[in-house]
Amino acid sequence: MNLNSGLFMRVMSKKQKLKFYDIKAKKPFETDNYEVVEKLTARGPMLFAVATSPHTGKKIYRLLGKKK
């Protein structure tokens, strides 16, 4: 299996508020409306929080850490 295939799997949704940073808008935002997804990387499976930016409407990813 190619680890860089970009495979996403939904793990859970709706957790505590997290801070994200929209690079395009150069502005931070905080939300509890995000999904936690697992992405296979070269270093193994990692967990990411994915939210939609209120500034640009783009999907913003925040690394949560390695899957245990």
> What is the reported pTM?
0.74
Task: Supply the pLDDT for residue 57.
Answer: 97
> Which one-letter DSSP state was computed for residue 34?
-
Query: What confidence tens digit (pLDDT) does each residue in 10-48 have?
Result: 555 446 999 999 999 999 999 999 999 999 999 999 999
Q: Is residue 24 part of a domain?
A: yes
Q: Is residue 42 part of a domain?
A: yes
Q: Using CB atoms within 10 A of its CB, is residue 64 exposed (0-12), middle (13-18) or buried (19+)?
A: middle
Range of the domain at 35: 8-66
Q: Is residue 36 part of a domain?
A: yes
Q: Is residue 1 part of a domain?
A: no
Helix (H, G, I), strand (E, B) or coil at 45: strand
Task: Supply the pLDDT for residue 1.
Answer: 45
Q: Is residue 15 part of a domain?
A: yes
Q: How many domains does the chain have?
A: 1
